Structure 1
Amino acid sequence: MLSVCVFCGSSSGFDPAYVDTANALGRLLAAEGLTLVYGGACVGLMGAMADATLAAGGKAVGVLPDFLRRKELAHPKLTELHVVSSMHERKARMAELADGFIALPGGMGTLEEFCEIITWAQLGLHKKPCGLLNVQHYYDPLLECVSRMAEEGFLRVEHKGLVLHNDTPEGLLEDMRAFEPLRVEKWVDRKEKA
């Protein structure tokens, strides 16, 4: 794993622990020699994490749609900035550039990005580790929802293992490095395929 894509909020949230963890993750990525790939903005958790990565001597690569760059949200000091034409292209480019994925707390965009990358893993489109950095138990409801999906037959029990989670950056990186891709098909009921 040489690069990690981090999905996170363009807001800082109300709890200072969110920014503290974004800073800690940025410093850890730099210390581990991992390139940060993220949404390219200078605001919220995104900006804090990129600032911390760069201040610690790490590399930060942003991917930003042109309409957001024109709103002056682009981080001015990134190692690289990829300007793309759409949100769809942004997600595809980040997926190409990253060897693993982490979601810090965030809003609908963060949730959508993480759910899409997990879906791609479920479909076998990639075999990269995907983890939730569960700061202050932020993602507990999502983890409960994933368990409910399996209980109700909408998700194979084995696919719950695609959603790694830990409450510290160090623990999550360790979990990601130990991740073994699943070798099961997506389909819950194979009879439906026949």
Structure 2
Amino acid sequence: MTWDILNIIGTTAFALSGVFAAMEEEYDLMGIYILGFVTAFGGGAVRNLLIGVPITNLWEQEALFLTAFVIMTIAFLLPRFLFETWRKWGLMFDAIGLGSFAVQGAIYASEMNLPLSASIAAAALTGTGGGMIRDVLAGRKPLFLRQEIYIAWTVPAGIGIGMGWISSMPGYITMLALIVAARMLSVHYGWRLPRSRPIRQQH
């Protein structure tokens, strides 16, 4: 049940995030579907490759593919003024997708009895993989490479779940909410991670 709920939340949020990115770039209908699908399922594919799960397992999620397809179609058919309103929530959808898939990825690695490092990596790649592919296909600089804090917010999920400190639905939902809140606050207040000093070339 926990797995299904997180899957639905993450898939819905990232599918919409992909649709908004595609429509901002004025892609056609097929481009919108492609960008929406890779955003929603790209993170899971990257995670599976990392931890040795057959990537073909993704095709067992037929209900989620159908859910994403319906959501993307509805978003595409929205009147323009409604789309402009919804687009303002694009950051929120991306944050929800980041949080839900980070938690889901950590659970996946933990249930396979993989080490803590795998749990952290699975949280990071499941949470950011779809968005990374979306930005590359849309010709944008990936969010996790920008100055603002993004991928770092997935680490607490990997640690907490990988160490066994979080192992129940209330804990998972709390972690999801914390990641979403941290991501939104970091954007609002412009939080940045420390940067290295530039290396000056000798002449």
TM-score by length of 1: 0.34
Flag the structure with higher strand content: 1
Return the structure number with greater relative CO, CA threshold 8 A, min gap 6. 2
Flag the structure with higher helix content: 2
TM-score by length of 2: 0.32
